[in-house]
């Protein structure tokens, strides 16, 4: 397995480099860091030269990404030009905020989705199944920004005393301490949870149904095992296999920061930071966040693959 993991990581590195290269070129082609300098040129030669030096503007645009790569290899992701802070520090701080929101959102939605899929699968075509299936269908149709606005309107505007409503993407917090934090978290958490529950439970239901229809489940029932044991021990383990991939994707997406939900509820996470960096064409910060999300995606996919082997010993990683 160690060889497998190593090989997977090694094959991802060139992909990551290409992705970052394309992003670097895409952003730099449309943005001139010297834009502010042309009008004042003779007077501000010093600043002009410094910008040229910092961004390596004296070399061709196609070569420039490699300077960034060599810096990144030494652990230096550069400075955010808009915030004046090292990119790694910004990502660390914002990432912490995102994690505060993402981890509970993931735990709640994974648990609820699992319960719902087991419920729906065991009572297929009953009223309860139709109810939850319809709900998840509706939930799936909601783009995150519409759902976030609906929730903001229902809970933030109508009951303003409880949750309050904050301006778009300002990162304003209610205050320090646990309860103000909870107050700020509640609505984005609700949005993220609903979104992932709808996606996961539909998938989970299908997977559970397929497992429950298999011969070994009939065998387990025939030999007299209690239904609870059949479902929660025998069926669950197999039906988890496809769900694990989905969970890995969900968690890596949540931890990369949900641009829309976090911005609408003004949660100071990675998503709004990325949006702001785009607006300011803050190249180093954009690249840093792309690198971070890419690493997260790869990491969690890898974890999912390793989990496969744990759940199903027939799957050999090679």
Partner 1 sequence: MTETLNETSPYGAPHGENRSVMIVGDVEGLTTAPASFGRLAWRRFRRHRLAIAGGLGLVLITLLFFLGPLLVEWAPDQTNVPDRMQGPSAEHWFGTDALGRDLFVRTAQGGRYSLLIGALVAVMATAIGSAMGAVAGYFGGAADTLISQVINLILIVPALIALSVFSQTYGSDAVGLSVILALLLWTRIARVTRGVVLSIREQEFIMAARAAGARHTRILGRHVLPNMVGAIAVEVTLLLGTAIVLESTLSFLGLGVRPPNASLGTLVADAKGSIDDDPIRVLGPGFFIVLIVLCVNFLGDGMRDALDPRAKTERG
Q: Which residues bind partner 1 (CB under 8 A)?
A: 12, 15-16, 18-19, 23, 26-27, 29-30, 125, 130, 133, 137-138, 140-146, 149-150, 152-153, 157, 165, 168, 202, 206, 209-210, 253, 256, 259-260, 263, 274-275, 278, 286, 289-290, 293-294, 297-298
For partner 1, give the closer residue by CB, 110 or 121: 121
User: Minimum distance between the CB of residue 94 and partner 1, rounded to whole angstroms?
Assistant: 14
- Return the closest-CA partner of residue 242 out of 113, 147, 130, 123: 113
Question: Which residues on adjacent β-strands are paired with residue 79?
Answer: 86
User: Minimum distance between the CB of residue 244 and partner 1, rounded to whole angstroms?
Assistant: 17
Phi, psi of 86 (to 5 degrees): -60, 140
How far apart, in whole angstroms, are the C-alpha atoms of residue 29 and residue 37? 18
For partner 1, give the closer residue by CB, 48 or 235: 235
How far apart, in whole angstroms, are the C-alpha atoms of residue 305 and residue 240? 13
Sign of CA dihedral 73, 51, 91, 148: negative
How far apart, in whole angstroms, are the C-alpha atoms of residue 256 and residue 252? 6
User: Minimum distance between the CB of residue 207 and partner 1, rounded to whole angstroms?
Assistant: 9
Lookup result for tokens 């002009």: 48
Contact 117, 183 (CB under 8 A): no
Give the CA distances from residue 281 to residues 1, 170, 212, 278, 285, in Å, rounded to whole numbers and listed in that order.
Answer: 41, 18, 52, 5, 9
User: Minimum distance between the CB of residue 162 and partner 1, rounded to whole angstroms?
Assistant: 15
For partner 1, give the closer residue by CB, 85 or 141: 141
Contact 110, 248 (CB under 8 A): no
For partner 1, give the closer residue by CB, 51 or 121: 121
For partner 1, give the closer residue by CB, 19 or 311: 19
For partner 1, give the closer residue by CB, 109 or 136: 136
User: Minimum distance between the CB of residue 48 and partner 1, rounded to whole angstroms?
Assistant: 24
User: Minimum distance between the CB of residue 279 and partner 1, rounded to whole angstroms?
Assistant: 8
Contact 242, 256 (CB under 8 A): no
Which tokens hold the place of 30? 């449309």
User: Minimum distance between the CB of residue 180 and partner 1, rounded to whole angstroms?
Assistant: 22
- Chain centre to alpha carbon of residue 134: 26
- Residue 301, number of CB atoms within 10 A of its CB: 16
For partner 1, give the closer residue by CB, 137 or 232: 137
User: Minimum distance between the CB of residue 281 and partner 1, rounded to whole angstroms?
Assistant: 9
For partner 1, give the closer residue by CB, 185 or 208: 208
DSSP state of 123: T
Contact 171, 272 (CB under 8 A): yes
């Amino acid at each position: 397995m160690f060889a497998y993991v190593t090989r997977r990581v090694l094959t991802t590195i060139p992909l990551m480099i290409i992705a970052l290269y394309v992003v670097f070129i895409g952003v730099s082609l449309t943005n001139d860091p010297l834009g502010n300098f042309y009008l004042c040129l003779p007077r501000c030669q010093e600043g002009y030269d410094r910008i040229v030096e910092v961004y390596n503007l004296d070399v061709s645009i196609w070569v420039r990404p490699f300077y960034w790569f060599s810096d990144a290899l030494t652990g230096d992701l550069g400075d955010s030009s808009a915030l004046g802070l090292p990119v790694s520090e910004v990502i660390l701080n914002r990432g912490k905020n995102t994690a505060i929101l993402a981890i509970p959102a993931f735990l709640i939605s994974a648990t609820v989705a699992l319960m719902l899929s087991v419920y729906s699968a065991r009572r297929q075509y009953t009223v309860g199944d139709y109810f939850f299936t319809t709900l998840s269908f509706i939930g799936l149709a909601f783009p995150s920004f519409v759902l976030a606005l609906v929730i903001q309107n229902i809970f933030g505007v109508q009951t303003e005393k409880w949750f309050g409503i904050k301006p778009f993407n300002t990162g304003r917090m209610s205050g320090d301490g646990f309860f103000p934090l909870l107050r700020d978290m509640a609505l984005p958490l609700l949005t993220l949870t609903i979104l992932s529950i709808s996606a996961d439970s539909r998938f989970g239901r299908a997977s559970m149904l397929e497992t429950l229809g298999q011969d070994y489940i009939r065998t387990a029932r025939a030999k007299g095992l209690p239904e609870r044991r059949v479902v929660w021990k025998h069926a669950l383990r197999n039906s988890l296999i496809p769900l694990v991939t989905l969970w890995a994707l969900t968690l890596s997406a949540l931890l990369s920061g949900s641009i829309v939900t976090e911005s609408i509820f003004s949660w100071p996470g990675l998503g709004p930071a990325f949006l702001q960096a785009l607006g300011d064409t803050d190249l180093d910060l954009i690249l840093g966040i792309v690198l971070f999300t890419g690493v997260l995606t790869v990491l969690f996919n890898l974890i999912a693959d390793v989990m496969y082997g744990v759940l199903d010993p027939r799957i050999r990683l090679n």
